[in-house]
Amino acid sequence: MTTRRMMVAAAAVLALGLSACGSDDPETDTGAGGDSEAEGLKVGIKYDQPGLGLKQGSEFTGLDVDVATYVAKELGVEAGDIEFIQAPSAQRETLIETGQVDMVVATYSITDARKEKISFAGPYFIAGQDLLVRSDDTSITGPDTLDGKKLCSVTGSTSAQKVKETVPGVNLQEFGTYSECVAALASGAIDALTTDDTILAGYAAQEQYKGKLKVVGQPFSEERYGIGLKKGDTAQCQKITDAIKKMISDGEWQKIVDKNLGPANYKAGAGNPPTPDACA
């Protein structure tokens, strides 16, 4: 080979190497050789759900954050190499399908409809759908008391779906995030917010809403939280499932639950800790 041809070949290898890294974020690229897989992990979480997934400045906290961090470690990824990306309810499948995230850990219920687009590992937690109302409201006691009420939920959630099916007469407004619903509830623009009791407990316990909002406390669904990943990635599903099982058996699951849901006085209900499903 001539020197010139070698240089062209070297340039091509370099270009390949760079594109193989495929990172659009220079911060996560440590430049430590392009051949190692999974240097970092992009994880979709919620940014506005206290106790579950919350971003404050550059800090991320919550059950989903801790579960993701534990699972990542089992996959060989250190906490500092995780990149958290906001995953609003309606965008979760798309974020996974397009590869913008490697996994979603975001109060993400395992459903057959979602399984047509993506795969799940888990469940790692079981919650139930409930209602959040203003503390002085005695008229809303469950889904059967919602007729004619203004209800809020989030686009692309199982919560919105379920309430449309069970209370066809309800006046449902769908927002992009639950924190928008909570603000509307506190201001009186809506009468109730429906989603998982975990999420509702987190809002009710927030300083600015303390004493103003209450969770009705009659859960009417089973929400099995899974970790969403690329459809058909059985190998990754198995690794994550093993990590979830280990997290439960080594006591870390209980610690994570107590630390994140304890402050809102949330008690994990029946079925917890769950047994993860087999990876299909």
Interaction site with ligand GLU (CB under 6 A): 89, 106-109, 154, 157-159, 195-196, 223
Q: Which is nearer to ligand GLU, 195 or 236 (CB)?
A: 195
What would the 3-class secondary structure string for the chain be? CCHHHHHHHHHHHHHHHHHHHCCCCCCCCCCCCCCCCCCCEEEEECCEECCCEEEECCEEECHHHHHHHHHHHHCCCCHHHEEEEECCHHHHHHHHHCCCCCEECCCCECCHHHHCCEEEEEEEEEECEEEEEECCCCCCCCHHHCCCCEEEEECCCHHHHHHHHHCCCCEEEEECCHHHHHHHHHHCCCCEEEEEHHHHHHHHCCHHHCCCEEECCCCCCCEEEEEEEECCCHHHHHHHHHHHHHHHHCCHHHHHHHHHHHHHCCCCCCCCCCCCCCCC
What is the smallest separation between the CB atom of 112 and ligand GLU, expressed in angstroms?
Answer: 13
What is the smallest separation between the CB atom of 21 and ligand GLU, expressed in angstroms?
Answer: 31
Q: Which is nearer to ligand GLU, 154 or 201 (CB)?
A: 154
What is the smallest separation between the CB atom of 108 and ligand GLU, expressed in angstroms?
Answer: 5
What is the smallest separation between the CB atom of 86 and ligand GLU, expressed in angstroms?
Answer: 12
Q: Which is nearer to ligand GLU, 179 or 195 (CB)?
A: 195
What is the smallest separation between the CB atom of 123 and ligand GLU, expressed in angstroms?
Answer: 11
What is the smallest separation between the CB atom of 179 and ligand GLU, expressed in angstroms?
Answer: 12
- Helix axis angle for 178-187 and 197-204, nearest 10°, is 50
Q: Which is nearer to ligand GLU, 40 or 156 (CB)?
A: 156
Q: Which is nearer to ligand GLU, 45 or 247 (CB)?
A: 45
Using Cβ positions, the residue closest to ligand GLU within the complex turns out to be: 157
Query: Within 10 Å of residue 102's Cβ, how many Cβ atoms?
Result: 24
Q: Which is nearer to ligand GLU, 23 or 111 (CB)?
A: 111
Q: Which is nearer to ligand GLU, 76 or 217 (CB)?
A: 217
Rounded to whole angstroms, what are the CA distances from 253 to 34, 124, 259, 261, 278? Answer: 34, 9, 10, 12, 19
What is the smallest separation between the CB atom of 24 and ligand GLU, expressed in angstroms?
Answer: 26
